[in-house]
Amino acid sequence: MPLFYLRRLTGSRRTEIANRHLARYLAFIAGATNAGGLLAVGQYTSHMSGIVSAMADNLAIGRVPLALAGLGAALSFLTGAILTTLMVRWARLYRLESEYALPLLIEAVLLVVFGIRGRVFSGGHVLDVVMLLCFTMGLQNAIITKISDAVIRTTHLTGMVTDIGIALGRVISTVFRRDAEVVSPAELAKLRLLTSLIGLFFIGGLTGALGFRHVGFLFTLPLAAALLLLAAMPVFDDVMRYRRVA
């Protein structure tokens, strides 16, 4: 990738094109990581609706330890989102270029930890794996949510599928009713974006499932390398500016 493209992709000065491209990359990585979590511990780690529902079910039938484990997973996701927000606000305070790159850097490190230590975790520390991956997914989801002003999310699909359904309903209405409101080009562009995000999440999930099946936990290393590549230029720019000032 050209350096100027990487700088624009995760830098502080945002464009609509950069937001969409970054969202697509992160949707793929989220799908692959989510599939890895399922194969590693038998549980999806970005699906908070399922986790909270399982908490209620386990509590209702008296499985309190499992309910508490679900609570730990949900709080880990929440903590990841909080950390991203704190890092972004801190970077803005000091006018850093890497305000969105720093959370990706942390996510890459966590994926490396999971890849290298995965077998140790899964041996008898399943909850550790779940909480680590939930934290990672919360970290990532908050990045694109803040960038897009809560329009786009990359780790869960319910909202995106709903938005696609609404947009398709408007398109169908326009086709069959002459007096219907015309669908704007911006809405059609959003429909294409959301469809591509779901497709890339699926492709990422398929890639992750095959990768974890044939390579094992070390399959997270290429995912971490991709995140490092995405985050590299803004972090490099900040380091070079700090050296000049120093």
User: According to CATH, what is the number of the domain 16-229?
Assistant: 1.20.1250
The amino acid sitting at 188 is: L
pLDDT at 178: 60
pLDDT at 103: 92
| Contact in structure between 137 and 122 (CB atoms under 8 Å) | no
**Residue (of 246, 64, 47, 23) closest to 158 by Cα position:** 47
Q: How far is CA 242 from CA 12, 87, 211, 235, in A?
A: 16, 18, 39, 11
Render each residue's pLDDT in the chain as its tens digit; 246 residues.
677 788 888 888 888 888 889 989 999 998 998 887 777 777 777 777 778 888 898 889 988 888 888 898 889 999 999 999 999 999 999 899 998 899 999 999 999 988 887 655 555 567 777 888 889 988 988 888 888 776 666 666 777 888 888 888 877 877 776 655 666 777 788 888 889 999 999 999 999 889 888 888 888 899 999 999 999 999 998 998 888 887
Model pLDDT, residue 75: 92
The pLDDT of residue 50: 78
Q: Where are the domains of the chain?
A: 16-229
Say what the pLDDT of residue 120 is. 56
pTM: 0.85
